[in-house]
Amino acid sequence: MAIDLAQTTGPAPADAPSSDFAEAMSALATGVVMVTNWLDGRPWGMTVSAFASVSADPPTILVSLGSETTSARSIEERGSFGVSILGRHHRAAARHGAARGASKFLERFTDSRGHGLSPSVGGALAHLDCDVIEVVKVADHTIFVGRVRDVRVAAGGEPLVYFRRAYRTLGRLTNPLTRRRIPCPSS
């Protein structure tokens, strides 16, 4: 049910303190991705955890980036971007792409074969090439909705996860017979 705040009476409720919100969000384990693009002809990437699948048909995803970042400005200008889904062996790349205020050129982390519309992190679990189909500005962030134009998936690997402000990995499956596909309840 949608609530129309314009029709509510009384003062608007106060926002939760930012520090409390940040602490609560750190309790959500998320996969780690590198949003990539070309900047001055060189591969550039920013580590994010604000990434989600929007639709399988047509294949559509979204990423949220700080509006004032070089990555956000570059994607807005180019109209396209890539997303490399990082594996447990990508901690150094993830830290590089997450360093505040630092250059995020990715030559040492990218796939040297250079196929695809956007740079991909070498050995990524998967890489998506996307065209921007919608841009939404919310507070100090920009949400880019991307139509997935190309997908490359690795044969295996374990994901890199971000939880309580640290990179982590999943425990190994103890019984491979229990490995089956379980549909997402929202799909």
pLDDT at 24: 75
The CATH architecture to which 29-169 belongs is: Roll (2.30)
pLDDT for res 20:
74
Q: What confidence score (pLDDT) does residue 138 get?
A: 94
- In angstroms, the CA 127 to CA 102 distance is 24
pLDDT of residue 18: 81
Q: What is the pLDDT along the chain (187 residues), one digit of tens a residue?
A: 555 555 556 677 888 778 877 777 666 678 899 999 999 999 999 999 899 999 999 999 999 999 999 999 999 999 999 999 999 999 999 999 999 889 999 999 997 665 668 999 999 999 999 999 999 999 999 999 999 999 999 988 899 988 788 788 887 666 655 556 556 555 5
Give the C-alpha separation, 170 to 186, whole Å: 23
One-letter amino acid at 57 equals: D
CA–CA distance, 115 with 103 (Å, rounded to integer): 23
Max CA distance (Å), the chain:
60
Q: Which amino acid is at 67?
A: S
> What is the per-residue DSSP string for 106-161?
-TTTB-TT--SSS--BTT-SEEEEEEEEEEEEETTEEEEEEEEEEEEE-S---BEE
Give the residue extent of every domain in the chain.
Answer: 29-169
Triad 77, 37, 26: Cα angle to 5°: 105
